[in-house]
Amino acid sequence: MSDQKASKYYPAEEEAQMKKARKTVHPTKYRDSLAPGTVLILLSGRFRGKRVVLLRHLEQGVLLITGPFKSNGVPLRRVNHRFVIATSTVVDITGADDEVLDRVSKDEYWSREKKDGKGEDDFFKDGETPQKKETDPQRIEDQKKVDKALMANIKKVPELEGYLGASFSLRSNEKPHEMVF
């Protein structure tokens, strides 16, 4: 038999041990080509293939972008910098409302309201069509304020509005790593 005896005492609850963190958090290092005002091409998500304007870098490690909404339907959004391609086109973003951009840059602006769990009544209403979500009027106002300044600068450059409205796609023999944007 073995020299060690089994313990006669076993705790009722195991002591909680701290989970070992395997990765350390490093600050996001953006590419040099991602400067505010640069036109980007979105590579994933609902608006993939759209050309958008970079407004600023956020502390959360993401980029704040806009379409502008009037030209291509892309609202103010946060996007991970890994899912964009920077182009050589630059839009002048001076005149954009800094107060609005500061408010939009915070996490609280993007947090969703908590909704209650499905109750019994909601379970039986599944056959009905769901109601469309109403967009917060504050977000609509913020979008208009940012777009107003951007559109004024975009209209000064010939064909820039058409360029932003056109979507990007690849043909069968085109290779993105060989392209110059």
Q: What is the pLDDT of residues 105-159, one digit of tens each?
A: 888 888 877 766 666 666 666 666 667 777 788 888 998 999 998 999 999 999 9
Q: What letter would DSSP give residue 107?
A: H
Q: Which residue has the higher pLDDT, 47 or 61?
A: 47
Q: Looking at the predicted structure, is the pLDDT value of residue 160 above 70?
A: yes
Instruction: Name the band, by pLDDT with cuts 50, 70 and 90, for residue 81.
Output: very high
Q: What letter would DSSP give residue 13?
A: S
Neighbours of 163 (CB within 10 A): 16
Q: For residue 96, give both structure tokens.
A: 């954009």
Q: Looking at the predicted structure, is the pLDDT value of residue 98 above 70?
A: yes
Q: Count Cβ neighbours within 10 Å for each residue of 32-60 and write b for 16 or more, e otherwise.
A: eeeebbbbbbbeeeebeebbbbbbbbbee
Dihedral, CA of residue 152, residue 136, residue 37 and residue 97, to nearest 10:
60
Domains of the chain, with CATH numbers?
38-107+138-164 (2.30.30)
User: What is the model's pLDDT at position 86?
Assistant: 93
